[in-house]
Chain A
Amino acid sequence: MLRIVGSYSLSIVHELGDFALFTGRAFRSAVGSRRLGKRIVRAGFEQGVRCLPVILIVGMFTGLVLGLQGYYVLNRFGSESLLGTLVSLSLVRELGPVLAALMLVGQAGSALAAELGIQRNTEQIAALETMGVSSHAYLVTPRLIAALLVYPMQTALFITVGLWGGSLSGSMLLGLEPGVYWSSVERAIESQDVRECFTKAATFGLLTIGLCAYHGFNAHRCRSATGARAVSASTTRAVVQSSIIVLAADYVITSFLV
Chain B
Amino acid sequence: MSAATPDLLLHIEGLHKRFDDNVVLAGASLEVPRGSLVTVLGRSGTGKSVLLKCLADVIRPDEGVIRFDGKPLGVDDAVARADFRRRCSYLFQSNALFDSLSALENVALPLEQTTDLSDKEIRERSLEALRQLELDAHQDRYPSQLSGGMQKRLALARAIVTRPELVLFDEPTAGLDPLRRNAVFAMIAKYQRQFRFTALVVTHDLTEALIASDRVALLDKGRMCFEGTPAEFSASTEPVVCDFRDSAAALGSSLAAIRRGEAIHSEDS
Contacts and interface: CB of A to CB of B under 8 A. Distances in A.
B114 interface: yes
A134 B14 CA distance: 29
B85 to A, nearest CB: 4
Given A122-B99, A132-B82, A127 B113 contact: no
A226 to B, nearest CB: 15
Given A122-B94, A122-B99, A131 B58 contact: no
Nearest to A134: B113
A133 B114 contact: yes
A12 interface: no
A213 to B, nearest CB: 16
B134 interface: no
A130 B109 CA distance: 12
Interface in A114-160: 115, 119, 122-124, 126-127, 129-133, 138
A50 interface: no
A130 B89 contact: yes
A3 interface: no
B96 to A, nearest CB: 4
B140 interface: no
Given A122-B94, A122-B99, A123-B94, A130 B113 contact: no
Contacts of B110: 131-133
B62 interface: no
A147 B234 CA distance: 60
Contact of B96 (A35, A127, A132): A127
Given A122-B94, A123-B92, A124-B98, A129 B113 contact: no
Contacts of B57: 129-130
A126 B96 contact: yes
A83 to B, nearest CB: 47
Contacts, number: 53
B112 A131 contact: no
Give the one of B82, B97, B116 with max A CB within 10 A.
B97
B114 A130 contact: no
B90 interface: yes
B92 A132 contact: no
A160 to B, nearest CB: 32
Nearest to B170: A123
Given A130-B85, A130-B89, A132-B86, A122 B114 contact: no
B56 interface: yes
B94 A133 contact: no
Give the one of A35, A123, A133 with max B CB within 10 A.
A123
Given A123-B92, A126-B92, A131 B114 contact: yes
A34 interface: yes
Contacts of A132: 82, 85-86, 110, 113-114
A129 to B, nearest CB: 6
Contacts of B58: 126, 129-130
Interface residues of A, number: 15
A130 B100 CA distance: 19
B85 A131 contact: yes
Contact of B90 (A34, A35, A119, A127): A127
A130 B162 CA distance: 12
B85 A123 contact: no
A254 to B, nearest CB: 39
A183 B58 CA distance: 62
A34 B113 contact: yes
B197 to A, nearest CB: 15
Interface in B7-27: none
Contacts of A127: 90, 92, 96, 98
Nearest to A121: B94
B96 A123 contact: yes
Contacts of B92: 123, 126-127
B81 to A, nearest CB: 9
Contacts of B113: 34-35, 131-133, 138
Contacts of A115: 100
A130 B94 contact: no
19 contacts: A34-B114, A35-B113, A115-B100, A122-B99, A123-B96, A124-B96, A124-B97, A126-B58, A130-B90, A131-B85, A131-B90, A131-B109, A131-B110, A131-B113, A132-B85, A132-B110, A132-B113, A133-B110, A133-B114
Given A124-B99, A133-B113, 11 more contacts: A34-B114, A119-B98, A126-B96, A127-B90, A127-B96, A131-B90, A132-B82, A132-B86, A132-B113, A133-B109, A133-B110
Interface of B: 56-58, 82, 85-86, 88-90, 92, 94, 96-100, 109-110, 112-114, 116, 162
Q: Which 4 A-B pairs have the closest CB atoms?
A: A132-B85, A127-B96, A130-B90, A123-B96
